[in-house]
Structures are given as C-alpha cells and as structure tokens.
Amino acid sequence: MERPDVGVALLAIARCAIARELDLAHRAHVAHADLMRVGASFVTLRRHGDLRGCIGTLDAWRALADDVHANACAAAFRDPRFAPVCARELAEVTIEVSVLNPSERMQERAVRELVEQRGHRAQEWNDGQQLEHQRAAPGADPRCMVGAGVSGLGADVQAGHDGRRAGQR
C-alpha cells in the first residue's frame, strides 16, 4: 500500500464518516482494492493546529476502510478528552490518518535493551500504553509485543492534513 491514491482515499473516508454523522453533505469516498485489506489505523484531528481528537486501533481485525471510518467517528465524537466535534467547526478540522504495520513479537532481551536505551526502567515500560494494549498470541507474554510502526503510505497519509498542504488533495 504505497500508492498516494490510497492516502487520498483514506483521508476522504475519514472526512466523509464525520460529515455523515453530522448530517452534512459529503462526497462519496474513492474505492481502492487496498482499502479492503485488514488493517489498523489511527485518526488524529486538529483544529488550528491543536489536538482535537485522536483514536486508533492497535490490532488489525477489520478492513482498513472500516477501521478508518470507525476511528474517525470515534476521534470526532467519543474521544473523552474533548467535546464532540460540531458541524460548524468541521471545516476548520484537519485530519491525519496513520496506518500501522502488524505487531511483531520481540524477545524479552530486546525489550529490556529498548527500555534501557530510552532511559526508563522495565516496569515503567511494561506499564505503558505501548505494550499494555497489544494482544499477544496464545501463550505469549504480552509485554514482549511492540507495534512495528507506521507503514509507508506516502507523505499524504503520514503527514496527512487531508489535502490542505501542497501535494495533497
């Protein structure tokens, strides 16, 4: 999924999902085969540069298009840190979509080394959200799971202000 048109489609899905919930006019989103693959995403909303909502999924379990749709609505209307987005402010909201790579199992030694490099004690790391929400394989130690990061969907998605910067639609 490295084609820029996938990023454009993901941003359109996110904006349309929010607009639909607000009963606002919205364009139909772009169809793309990669959107039907199972994927996990985070949707971040900003208004005037300030965080306005951010919700995501760490484990891929549904189609990427469905995941972005659900996370966009959750970021806009159910992020407990903010009041729900209202129709009059949607035009001022920029949307960023990040797509996660699948989680990879790490050896306990690698986790300890990573913790030491960051200057944290192992217990602090184990209590952190980075590992707390990862789902381990049966019998695996969930403290040894770590997300592999954001996949290469291109700058349109990773930096993705839903088309408000040069090179984006």
Pick the closest to residue 150 from 75, 72, 109, 97 (CA basis): 97
Domain count along the chain: 2
Residues of the chain above pLDDT 70, percent: 66
Angle between helices 64-77 and 4-21 (to 10 degrees): 40
Contacts within 8 Å (CB) and 24+ apart, 151-154: 151/1, 151/99, 151/100, 151/101, 152/1, 152/2, 153/1, 153/2, 153/4, 153/6, 153/7, 153/10, 153/99, 154/2, 154/3, 154/4, 154/6, 154/7
> 17: domain range?
4-101+148-158
Q: Are residue 16 and residue 43 in the same domain, yes or no?
A: yes
Distance CA 42, CA 34 (A): 17
Distance CA 118, CA 148 (A): 17
Q: Are residue 152 and residue 128 in the same domain, yes or no?
A: no
Is pLDDT of 51 > 80?
yes
Query: Which pLDDT score, from 0 to 100, does residue 137 have?
Result: 40
Q: Are residue 87 and residue 38 in the same domain, yes or no?
A: yes
Is there a contact between 11 and 163 (Cβ–Cβ < 8 Å)? Answer: yes
Q: Are residue 90 and residue 37 in the same domain, yes or no?
A: yes
Looking at the domain assignment, is residue 65 inside a domain?
yes
Looking at the domain assignment, is residue 169 inside a domain?
no
Q: Are residue 49 and residue 93 in the same domain, yes or no?
A: yes
Looking at the domain assignment, is residue 56 inside a domain?
yes
Looking at the domain assignment, is residue 166 inside a domain?
no
Q: Are residue 22 and residue 71 in the same domain, yes or no?
A: yes
Q: Are residue 80 and residue 109 in the same domain, yes or no?
A: no
Least confident of 73-77, 94-98, 108-112, 121-125: 121-125
Neighbours of 56 (CB within 10 A): 20
Q: Are residue 80 and residue 18 in the same domain, yes or no?
A: yes
- CATH number for position 54: 3.30.700.20
Query: Which pLDDT score, from 0 to 100, does residue 147 have?
Result: 37
Looking at the domain assignment, is residue 167 inside a domain?
no
The mean of the pLDDT values for the chain is 75
Query: Which pLDDT score, from 0 to 100, does residue 153 have?
Result: 37
Q: Are residue 123 and residue 154 in the same domain, yes or no?
A: no
For 146, the token pair is: 């770590």
Q: Are residue 25 and residue 57 in the same domain, yes or no?
A: yes
Looking at the domain assignment, is residue 168 inside a domain?
no
Q: Are residue 92 and residue 61 in the same domain, yes or no?
A: yes
Cα–Cα–Cα angle for 117, 123, 125, rounded to 5 degrees: 50
Query: Which pLDDT score, from 0 to 100, does residue 133 have?
Result: 34
For 59, the token pair is: 């484990």
Residue partners of 122: CB distance under 8 A and separation at least 6: 111, 112, 115
Q: Are residue 75 and residue 9 in the same domain, yes or no?
A: yes
